[in-house]
A = this chain, B = another copy of it.
Amino acid sequence: MNSKEYFKNRRTIRKYDQERSVDTNLIDNMLADAARAANTGNMQTYSVIVSTAPEEIAALAPSHFNQPAITGAKAVLTFCLDFNRFNRWCRLNGTEPGLDNLQGFTWAVIDTSLFAQQFCTIAEMNGLGTCYLGTTTYNAEPIARTLGLPAEVVPVVTVTVGYPAEEPELQERLPLEAIVHHGHYANPSDEAIREFYAEKENLPSSKKFVEENSKENLAQVFAEVRYPRPANEQFSRIYKEFLKNQGIAL
């Protein structure tokens, strides 16, 4: 598949070939290339912990609610924001850094994400399948404990990796006019909003979600079942507290 076809057709892979491991040297080489992605001030305030041994992956799985994407993964990459290395370098040089705030956090989350995304693209163009686990910001503290993260290091995104053992359908996306604005933000009418989400609402899988959860519509499934306010707020408190314990005050 050439790169044009790849970008048009990329999809998340959650099921991996159990007979085929992923070479650690290959992962390291891909990470070296991924680190060429842009980052704030070239400070590289990120680290990645690569877990390939079955017992290492098994130790991480409960923090990700034992999703099949992790229990069947051949490699798990936990991308972390990392001020520890940079801050220690500053202190060794007689100066005190100041990244432990919302600006530092936001830059580091962005930079960690760019690095992770570049890795995924490289891995997928090498025939591997990847899946991001959103559970990382829910359970940052147990993940940090499992991986032995010191202060000033915080998990941001987790990527599971393996050779694909499934060929999922291309997932739908909102129409381009929903997400791209020219010159200034064009706030859509209510009618336009309804049209943007019509395809998603009409998917058989969406209709099934609505029925299984005894809801009236798909928006209710998102707002009340998948991402309900009380859970989001609870996990926000936990993440904020963990950040504070790691030395970052938002």
Instruction: Identify the A interface with B (CB < 8 A).
Output: 3, 7-12, 24, 28, 31-38, 40-44, 46-53, 56, 80, 82, 84-86, 88-90, 92-99, 101-104, 106-107, 109-110, 113-114, 116-118, 120-122, 125, 130-132, 134, 137-138, 147-150, 153, 156-157, 170-174, 176, 178-185, 187-188, 190, 193-194, 196-197, 200, 216-220, 222-224, 226-230, 232-233, 235-236, 239-240, 250
Contacts and interface: CB of A to CB of B under 8 A. Distances in A.
Given A188-B85, A223-B95, A236 B196 contact: no
Question: Most chain-B CB neighbours within 10 Å: which of A8, A9, A40, A223?
Answer: A223
Contact of A227 (B35, B46, B98, B109): B98
A9 to B, nearest CB: 8
Contacts of A171: 42
Contacts of A47: 179-181, 185
Contacts of A84: 187
B98 A193 contact: no
B56 A37 contact: no
B220 A94 contact: yes
Contacts of A188: 85, 88
A160 to B, nearest CB: 11
A168 to B, nearest CB: 12
A21 to B, nearest CB: 14
7 contacts: A38-B131, A85-B188, A89-B193, A92-B190, A93-B217, A106-B156, A121-B121
Contact of A90 (B82, B147, B194, B222): B222
A39 to B, nearest CB: 8
Given A47-B185, A118-B121, A148-B184, A179 B94 contact: no
Contacts of A35: 173-174, 176, 179
Nearest to A233: B101
Question: Most chain-B CB neighbours within 10 Å: which of A80, A157, A171?
Answer: A157
A219 B90 contact: yes
A26 to B, nearest CB: 13
Contacts of A96: 223, 229
Closest 6 CB pairs of A and B: A98-B229, A93-B219, A113-B113, A102-B236, A101-B236, A7-B33
